[in-house]
Structure 1
């Protein structure tokens, strides 16, 4: 009897052990997912495509309006009609196109007058979202603002009355009075190119052009694109000597808002790819942009 009980117990233990092993073998083996690779310095600050943070863009969308600093005195780029109060030009159309991109309506843009002297302070103070105002990209200005890609290529030249003995910058010597605008790169450039000439500075381009026509100076200097606008206003004046500098225009954005810089650059690329940029350029400048 004891032997039977003994063997019965042994059999039960063997069956129980077999059942335990079978149960363990039926479980699926799960391999842990590999850990995400560590971020490198090159990944720092990167966001998913289309999700780059921009405080400026968020403010514009919440406000429902894009506020842009533009010129009111620069024919072809930003000129205010005193009769109608309407501001028109290449820069104005670029601002409207960006407003349409952001808010779906080109009329959801507020144009605020700036000059070469006031535009950066107004941007820094938050009075405007950006600057589209014939602003040349320079290393010095990059210390204060961020720039978009180049949206217009210009070069500095001279405007003189027809028949003037001044035909190029080499004729700007001692005794010659050159008119320029305060805060512009043109003022610095002409002083470097013609250190013996007298440079008279004015608040804006219309004041400078009025002074030239009044005989207060012998030549007016700034970007050729702006001078062509003055020449259209008064055919008694002409642009001479070609260009003696490169003046690439950029849209200025508050320092550090890289998200908005990226957004604006993407906007410019899309505008050029669609042909809209060329149409706008030809509308105001009278010819297609150089390749």
Structure 2
């Protein structure tokens, strides 16, 4: 097992050398163990609800058909959710600020950047005629449904997989990206696939479908839950877990930040992302789907992919729209 403190081993070696040198250092037989703290709230977990199973009676990717073309920005239908947002003067969006390439705090841009952030800006531009009228609320994976239910935000765009279970609490747009769960490990490890980590600690975010798949995996993985994806990166770098498993979009950003890590193995899930809305805001869902239809056709989706996600390979065709009505 590689888990443990690399720092502890290094300090022990240094102190032993200091003792052997005959100086006033610590004697050679002193064992020093320095444990780095784990992120707040990190814990081993088990017995989670199983990951979503195929349900022939439910297609989670099927959303609400657009009512027509997009209205003129700033001129929303009377009494609509969109008119309420325009009258307020800004869109409120629940997003991530810790996932490089998808939604992260960018010091060079003095704000948030990423594929999901660009999508929020496209939504704001369709509403107002300009992309900047957004108030961002950063949320964890676990908070995504609640902030919609209590009206804290108008929309959540945060690498959120559409599932039949989640449709019970929120409504989704058509799929805007198709991701898949894979594994991030150290380059100097011998791990090539998730099955190689049998009995080892593997990290993912609390409240995610990824964590549920780790807990249920046939390899007997030890699931470690944290608040944010960035906590998994820290724990992997510190040797506190052997792997970090979630959507390949997220892992690609983590690997870009640390060249000592790489993504391995085949996808072992399908993770279709959708924008999420309050269950009462069906008109806003149809509006968003009209926007996504335009983005697929006019090249906007491909441009966003080429800006952020070429680490995953050349741009595929955008996910096709699927409607339930």
C-alpha distance after superposition, 1:2-35 (max 9, x if no partner): xxxxxxxxxxxxxxxxxxxxxxxxxxxxxxxxxx
Task: Report the 3-state secondary structure (helix = DSSP H, G, I; strand = E; otherwise coil) of the residue aligned with 1:180.
Answer: strand
Mapped partners of 2:77, 2:192: distance in 1: 50
Mapped partners of 1:126, 1:167: distance in 2: 43
Query: In the TM superposition, what are the counterparts of 1:248-267 in structure 2 within 5 Å?
Result: 248-267=272-291
Mapped partners of 1:77, 1:136: distance in 2: 14
Mapped partners of 1:264, 1:99: distance in 2: 10
Give the structure 1 partner of residue 128 of structure 2: 103
Mapped partners of 1:289, 1:54: distance in 2: 39
Q: How many residues align?
A: 245
Give the structure 2 partner of residue 177 of structure 1: 201
Give the structure 1 partner of residue 101 of structure 2: 76
Q: Does 1:189 align with 2:252?
A: no
Going from structure 1 to structure 2, the CA distance change for 1:73 and 1:262 (only over 3 Å counts) comes to same
Give the structure 2 partner of residue 278 of structure 1: 302
Give 5+ residue unaligned stretches, structure 1.
1-45
Q: Which moved more, 1:110-119 or 1:151-160?
A: 110-119
C-alpha distance after superposition, 1:227-263 (max 9, x if no partner): 0000000010000002100000000011132211111
Going from structure 1 to structure 2, the CA distance change for 1:219 and 1:54 (only over 3 Å counts) comes to farther
Q: CA RMSD in A?
A: 2.1
On the 8 A contact 2:67/2:287 being kept in 1, the answer is no
Give the structure 2 partner of residue 12 of structure 1: none
Task: Report the 3-state secondary structure (helix = DSSP H, G, I; strand = E; otherwise coil) of the residue aligned with 2:173.
Answer: strand
Using the size of structure 2 for normalisation, the TM-score is: 0.71
Q: Is the radius of gyration larger for structure 1 or structure 2? A: 1
On the 8 A contact 1:278/1:288 being kept in 2, the answer is no
Give the structure 2 partner of residue 207 of structure 1: 231
Mapped partners of 2:79, 2:246: distance in 1: 34
Task: Report the 3-state secondary structure (helix = DSSP H, G, I; strand = E; otherwise coil) of the residue aligned with 1:271.
Answer: helix
Q: Does 1:59 align with 2:84?
A: yes
Q: CA deviation at 1:58?
A: 2.4
Task: Report the 3-state secondary structure (helix = DSSP H, G, I; strand = E; otherwise coil) of the residue aligned with 2:141.
Answer: coil
Q: Which of 260, 263, 286 is 1:236 aligned to?
A: 260
Going from structure 1 to structure 2, the CA distance change for 1:268 and 1:107 (only over 3 Å counts) comes to same
Give 5+ residue unaligned stretches, structure 2.
1-64, 70-75, 318-325
Mapped partners of 2:189, 2:298: distance in 1: 43
Q: Does 1:247 align with 2:271?
A: yes
